[in-house]
A and B are shown apart, each in its own frame.
Chain A
Amino acid sequence: MEKVLNDYLEKVEKCLKPMPVSERVDIVREIKSEILELQSENQTAGEILERLGTPRDLAKAYIGDLLEKDTKFSWNKVLTVCAFYSVVGFSGIFIIPSLLIIAPAFAASGVLVPILAAVKMADYLFHLGIPYIDNIGIVLTGIIELNPVGEFIAALPIGILLYLAGRGAWKLLVIYCQAVSRTHEKIAA
């Protein structure tokens, strides 16, 4: 084959760079096949080149078709997905474990505080002498001194508050997970 025709094929190959190698090879082979076919019909290199158009235009026709076909794919979408996983990944590292610990710990504390205060009050009222019971108590040294009955009464709202905080953390966790999965669905659609 003449040098101009070989150069032509090389240029087409170069312009097809965005495509996978196997496709490029096949495309060039097909064009080469036609060039040889045209030559066998005694067409000159000049006529063949005129017929095929510039290598750029020919290659662009293949690539244009490729891009048109893959309209579902876009860089914007790739970036969105990357941003999504970055945000979810980083925030998830902190938010999910924090809330997961806070929620049950607060809720359990909310239940425990009044129970323990009740135990201390019972000990105080009935002189049960439970060991280490003095370790339980609401201590606000210097501000307020409560006896076990007062402590029990104070423990009730504190318990409720702690329990509500635990439930709130759990709700936040659920909302966070739902928001993530909703966003994920939106992106995947």
Chain B
Amino acid sequence: MKKYLSLIAVAVMLTACNTTNTSSKGDSSSAAPEYDRSSLNILTPTGAPALAFYNYAGNAKFETNAAPATISGQMAAGSKDVIVLPTNAGVKAIVDNKAPYQLAATITFGNFYIASLNNDDNQVMDENDTILLFQKNNVPDKIFHYVYGDQFNNAIHYAADVSAVAQAVIAGKYSDPDTGTEYVPNYVMIAEPALTNVMSKKNTVSVYADIQAKYKEKSNDQALFQASVFVNKNVEKTLATSFLKSLEKDINDAIAEPTKLSTGMSKEASAAEVFGVAPQMAENVLKKNNGMGLGFKYAKENKAAIETFLKLFNIEGLNEEIYF
């Protein structure tokens, strides 16, 4: 019997020591002007948004996740101090699920490109080509349609995610999971760093269009406010402000000196898995005219651009309280 009781005790102890709490409330009152990077629990999706947190590598309170849907769930539960999500998904969680967060700043401004497989005779994307997009009815799809309208609808096919698009580019073919039909794509919508990765493996691939530039043309020079930082309402305001200032500095430093990005990321032993990009690859893409679209803009000062972006997802008439 003692054996069984000790088993229960060990199991309970092991789970108890793993529990996470929002820790900011207690610490926030003593916020120092210099931001301590272990003050807040942060959760961000892997890829471009995670790179903004290169100085948080190895920090126990910094967590990344490869499945944005699970981040939305945690946002609704209010379990983290800071959450990074696509701007539309975060705002939707606040509006629909009453997630206790405010939109503070945007940190990625688009990393989408149209890549050509250079197998199109006239080298011009038109309705006679096969175009592969990803995430139907989600950010990439909405942006593509905003930029190009419905003119290519008959040419469009969808892959589940950007990895499936990259796989199709390398293989030179795509099999539709619904119909089983095989297509040879001529053009694909793809995101960095997958684009650089694909181009390193298949040298016939080239960039056909920069979606960010097209978006700017279409929206009277407004940037694509893709992924944003959402701060929990329970976090003390001065602490949140110093966090945002520190993050802004980190991002600007990395853009000015991309080696800082890879150096910072490398402090984490499994950096490639945690950030979703290997440090050297991240540095290379950043050097390529900031291919990840990193940046920092306060949400409150850029309401018009944010609302233009949110309009793509039929989110309109936002309450002023949503902004930090």
A and B bind: no
Interface set of A (CB-CB < 8 Å, partner B): none
Interface set of B (CB-CB < 8 Å, partner A): none
